[in-house]
Structure 1
Amino acid sequence: MTLDEIQEIITKNLFTNVFQPIYHLPSKQIVGYESLLRCSLVKSPDLLFNYAQQQGCIHELDMASISNSFKSFYEYYKTVNSSELFLSVNVYPSTIAVPFFPQFLEKLVKKFSLSNQQIVLEINESETLKDLKQFIKNIIILKEKGFIIALDDFGRGKHSLYTLLEVEPHIIKLDQYLAKDLSKNLKKQKILSYFLDYFNDGENIIILEGIETEEDMICAKNLGIGYAQGYYLAKPHMLSISVCI
């Protein structure tokens, strides 16, 4: 895909965002939504972002997706009138490292009458970061402003441990691999128990991704997982649709 084709997708808004609920398992209540980009012109969102990365405009696509996510979330949020719902957006480290990214986020928050504390930034680790100094600088600024930092797909990315130590995220999202057949896999249950013991210190929240069966959801809940998302709970959808379990 050429640079011009990607720019056309961005400038003409030839994409949409769907939202997957994140549940508090003990209460079965939706606490927030993760925004996911969809574009009919490419086979998968990952492929589109790979093209954008190759063409050097991944931060432009990232920011366009975030902007559209805010807009869609606001339209839904103002109808349900709940200040407790949060919006989670995926963002590449190189986008966070853009010097004006914190200001960009604050303008969006103000424009759509949200609060910084409602916005979760899920760090996507599928790229090699060049400007680590600016990335860490902006993470510190974002934290100081009250934005919530999450480490996405923990356990899969090759830089996960490094990012965990340097970024000190508020939320750790465990990779969906750990959720698959969890109820039948004692090793995965032990690993989850270890993560819970290590991270549940009152300062971190753990979210388990990829719950696809009732058995795995019950197992996760019994192990002490408080928050989860996955196809069994709800598939990504437009926010006009009400979903409950």
Structure 2
Amino acid sequence: MKNYMTISDIKRRVLIVDDEPINRELLGAMLSQTFEIATASNGQEAMMMLTQPDADYSLILLDLLMPVMDGFEVIERCQSDEALKRIPIIVLTSEKSAEVRSIRMGAADFITKPYDMPEIILARCERIIELSEDKSIIRSTERDKVSGLYTRSYFFVYLRQIIHRIDHPTDALVLNIDRFHLINDLFGRDEGDRVLSYIGELISERLSGLRGIACRSESDTFFIFCERQEEYESLIEEIQTKLSAFTKSRSLRLRAGVYSCEDHTGDPESWFSRAKAACDNIRGQYGSFTTRYNNELYKRAVFHERLIGDIDDAINNRNFVVYYQPKYKILGKYPVLTSAEALIRWIHPDLGFINPGEFIPLFEQNGLIRRVDHFVWRSAAQQIKRWREQYNVTIPISVNVSRVDIFDPELEKKLCDLLDEFSLSHDELMLEITESAYADSSERLIEVVNSLRSKGFLIEMDDFGAGYSSLNMLTEIPIDVLKIDRQFIRRMLLDDKNLRLVKLVRDIAGFLRVPVVAEGVEEKEQLKLLKRMGCDIVQGYYFSPPLPAERFGELIEQDLQRKEETSC
């Protein structure tokens, strides 16, 4: 049977530094059974040995009174060197005053001459090495290697140690970087780590003034516990300004949530959970850098956690239901049903109907929207096939492709596999991408869209005008359909500026030679005006709200009957 060496079998190296040969021999004899021994006759020789490339010492036994370089200078040099200061030093002396001075300079312990108790000397050496190695392990795990701040676990350990001694008001602060993933996606993880390291430096610089401690909780989120400040807006704005200059980018935005710790008897992790709820509440808002927690935010956070936890049941039990809103061509004598948009609905078994405006942004934030999108894609593809078999007509359906989907390397394959499974052509499952997705990740998105269009997919730009549109962007983006944001349609009869904007978008679509779809049409006057403008397609409650598949089938039947009557 083989015997394998373990860590405990490896002998630690001990350096004995003494100008008296007899002392070196005595100590060597006492310790050689347990340690690998090296010796030096003075401080200068010792420093040469300690700075060799292969030097790996666990302990230094150091005489203080030596020629050439004494022990005090060795301690001083070791303490000024980051690598050497980690090696514990036991001084060898018989003078009480020297013992005190060396301990204050950084020595770990002392052994009094003469050396007449070998067992005690050995035990003290073993104990000092053990303490030093334990400290080294703690040091290597307590700090986040990227930011230089505490790790999350040590942050809460230290926080629990100090909170009972704090007698002044404090705050829990959660700092987050909006759209940080873009740095990693566009420039690589090394650049992302460089940005996180810089933010860690900026936070560290301000901790003394805040009388606080900080950690990096997760990839782009930082926790700060500090003395209560009147406001944090100026602090976050200052960090934001320096970060923008450092990255030469305006796309990264800091936001912070604050929870006021009224007493220190609660659970520190719950303070930061509430601060994070406040921080998440201003995601995507540009009016303020910070906000404070209140009970409404906490209730909202609990509700969101419930939704996140229930997504699997919603998919498996089909609590998610896909509704279809019809789109009509309006340029002819009669409106003609031409296609539909797939819209997700959630009928929760306990909570009832959940507004899509509640769960869609939530799932977009944490990446779960991809699972919802896949559910919708499959349902829509299946429904196109069913209507074709039932009515002998093809009703193309538009489905949403979120910004999260864009970064899925399997996106194109998944879509093509769906078409193959349900025997569909590429132009029957149309893909809607919001304008804001273009603004967030234009290079990657243009690359993906070009590839999808080369396969035959039709691309609709959704919510045009709601984000950060520019004519320059439109010249670069490959699209097949332009959809006007519903807010312009709703206000165009009340506000001349919105009316001119709708006309402008129609003219832009004409210039690009793509059809335009007007969303949110609810009134007859809106329909008449859009028809006079030359708008191609409309959708909205004027014709129909989103419907479940069975009721949408009734619209198909009505459209088929109208066509039959007009053809006679």
Q: Same fold (TM over 0.5)?
A: yes
Contact 2:435 2:464 in 1 (8 A): no
Task: Find the aligned partners of 1:102 and 1:45 in 2 and give their Cα distance.
Answer: 26
Contact 1:152 1:173 in 2 (8 A): yes
Contact 1:32 1:86 in 2 (8 A): yes
Q: Which moved more, 1:119-128 or 1:201-210?
A: 119-128
Q: 1 or 2, which has the higher helix percentage?
A: 2
1:169, distance to aligned residue in structure 2 (A): 1.2
| Counterpart AA for 2:417 | K
Q: Which moved more, 1:15-24 or 1:109-118?
A: 109-118
1:235 is paired with a residue whose SS is: coil
Task: Find the aligned partners of 2:500 and 2:443 in 1 and give their Cα distance.
Answer: 36
The counterpart of 1:195, out of the listed 465, 481, 505, is 505
Could you tell me which residue of structure 2 aligns to residue 72 of structure 1?
A: 383
1:217, distance to aligned residue in structure 2 (A): 0.6
2:324 is paired with a residue whose SS is: strand
Task: Find the aligned partners of 1:54 and 1:185 in 2 and give their Cα distance.
Answer: 34
| Counterpart AA for 2:485 | D
Could you tell me which residue of structure 2 aligns to residue 229 of structure 1?
A: 539
Per the normalisation by structure 1, the TM-score is: 0.88
Task: Find the aligned partners of 1:189 and 1:54 in 2 and give their Cα distance.
Answer: 33
The counterpart of 2:318, out of the listed 8, 13, 30, is 13
Per the normalisation by structure 2, the TM-score is: 0.40
Contact 2:381 2:429 in 1 (8 A): no
Larger radius of gyration: 2
Q: Structure 1 residues 193 and 115, CA, compared in 2 at 3 Å: closer, same or farther? A: same
Could you tell me which residue of structure 1 aligns to residue 370 of structure 2?
A: 59
Task: Find the aligned partners of 1:160 and 1:112 in 2 and give their Cα distance.
Answer: 38
Contact 2:489 2:502 in 1 (8 A): no
The counterpart of 2:408, out of the listed 98, 119, 143, is 98
Task: Find the aligned partners of 2:391 and 2:371 in 1 and give their Cα distance.
Answer: 30
Could you tell me which residue of structure 2 aligns to residue 39 of structure 1?
A: 346
1:163, distance to aligned residue in structure 2 (A): 5.7
Q: Following superposition of structure 1 onto structure 2, how do residues 148-187 of structure 1 map, counting pairs within 5 Å?
A: 148-158=458-468, 164-183=474-493, 185-187=495-497
- Name stretches of at least 5 consecutive residues in structure 1 with no aligned partner: none
1:76, distance to aligned residue in structure 2 (A): 2.0
Q: Which moved more, 1:38-47 or 1:119-128?
A: 119-128
Contact 2:464 2:484 in 1 (8 A): yes
Per-residue CA deviations over 1:78-110 (Å, capped at 9, x if unaligned) read 222224x32111121221321111111111111
1:234, distance to aligned residue in structure 2 (A): 1.2
1:126, distance to aligned residue in structure 2 (A): 5.8
1:188, distance to aligned residue in structure 2 (A): 3.2
Per-residue CA deviations over 1:138-196 (Å, capped at 9, x if unaligned) read 21110100101111111112367676444221111001122225345443333222222
- Does 2:337 match 1:30? yes
Q: Which moved more, 1:67-76 or 1:118-127?
A: 118-127
Contact 2:439 2:468 in 1 (8 A): no
Contact 2:435 2:466 in 1 (8 A): no
- Name stretches of at least 5 consecutive residues in structure 2 with no aligned partner: 1-303, 560-568
| Counterpart AA for 1:226 | D
Task: Find the aligned partners of 2:358 and 2:340 in 1 and give their Cα distance.
Answer: 23
1:19 is paired with a residue whose SS is: strand
Structure number with greater CO (CA < 8 Å, separation at least 6) is: 1
Q: Which moved more, 1:131-140 or 1:30-39?
A: 131-140
Number of residues paired by the alignment?
Answer: 244
Task: Find the aligned partners of 2:508 and 2:411 in 1 and give their Cα distance.
Answer: 31
Q: Which moved more, 1:147-156 or 1:43-52?
A: 43-52
Q: Structure 1 residues 57 and 129, CA, compared in 2 at 3 Å: closer, same or farther? A: farther
Q: Structure 1 residues 8 and 165, CA, compared in 2 at 3 Å: closer, same or farther? A: farther
Task: Find the aligned partners of 1:49 and 1:11 in 2 and give their Cα distance.
Answer: 18
